[in-house]
Amino acid sequence: MLDVVTLGESMVQLTPTRTGLLRYASHFERFVAGAESNVAIGLSRLGHRTGWIGRVGADELGACVVASIRGEGVDVSQVVYDEEAPTGVYFKERRHPGLTRVYYYRAGSAGSRLAPSNLDAAYIREARYLHLTGITPALSTSCRETVWRAIRIANEAQVPISFDPNLRRRLWAEEEARSVLLEMLACAHLVLASVEEAVFLTGEDDPEAAARILQDMGPGQVVVRLGADGALAIGESGALEYKPALAVDVVEAVGAGDAFNAGFLAGQLRRWDLAQSLHLGNILGGLATTVPGDVEGLPTWAEVQPYLGGDEMVDR
């Protein structure tokens, strides 16, 4: 039995070794990243059992993606190797600290060809959570159909769904994105949104008010990530919890949301309360920003301990 199963596209990421315009870059560092696999890796480092469902090209980059994720202790037995499409690639352009642009080369990629037939229902039914993002349904019609099949499987088996809208405006039109994301949100038990996404989905600028609107749409728990201001959550009772962010020197903010999600889910898996789960989420989100890659800064359970402070975290 896995604690969390997730599905989506993971790619090879290339980041210049120094800041500046991408056109002038000649030396790159290679990473592997994807919103869903980032969460799986974050949870795995904290001692949880996770699985990632995806599709990669039958090429060297696909082998790199799978080996990297497997090497982090994530189960990759459900990965499909595509003989007809390549593994996706994307580049980061770090203009200066605090300003990063991302350029994707994923159109027609193997990951965008994920299909409902790639899902093993039993694999999802045995999980404690199914974690989804709004990126996958934006990639293609088959990806969207796959997401909905996964949701049906989870709902029928009463597997809670955690959902990060993870809005990518470049992938689809705003109205279509809002419609699909709200429909997915209504099927989730837990929603993990950035403050920008909460505003986009509700039209409400106040984070708490936006969270309550989202909760009224169906999910029992709603978390809104506030970036440098921390995060808040509305529990099933309607009570509000808030925790401040971890103070760190930020090197690269991309990937912080995925790291937070992993921390928060880890708290919920350990049956911690909302405040404790928020605190753990903020710890992981903060530490993830201290390095250039998405997952290289994610801590192990032992490395988390000094940051827990006086909070008495008891597994229930």
Gap between the Cα atoms of 183 and 212, Å rounded: 16
In sequence order, the 6+-apart residues with CB closer than 8 A to the CB of 62 are 56, 81, 82, 86, 87, 110
Backbone angles phi, psi at 262, to 5 degrees: -65, -45
Write out the DSSP string of 223-269. EEE-GGG-EEEE-TT--EEEEPPP----S--TTHHHHHHHHHHHHHH
110: nearest Cα among 142, 70, 133, 148: 142
How far is the CA of 96 from the CAs of 19, 25, 91, 107, in angstroms?
Answer: 6, 14, 15, 28
Q: Assess whether 258 carries a catalytic annotation.
A: yes
> What is the separation, in whole angstroms, between the first and last Cα of the chain?
19
Q: Which listed residue (205, 258, 294, 311) is catalytic? A: 258
Active site amino acids:
258
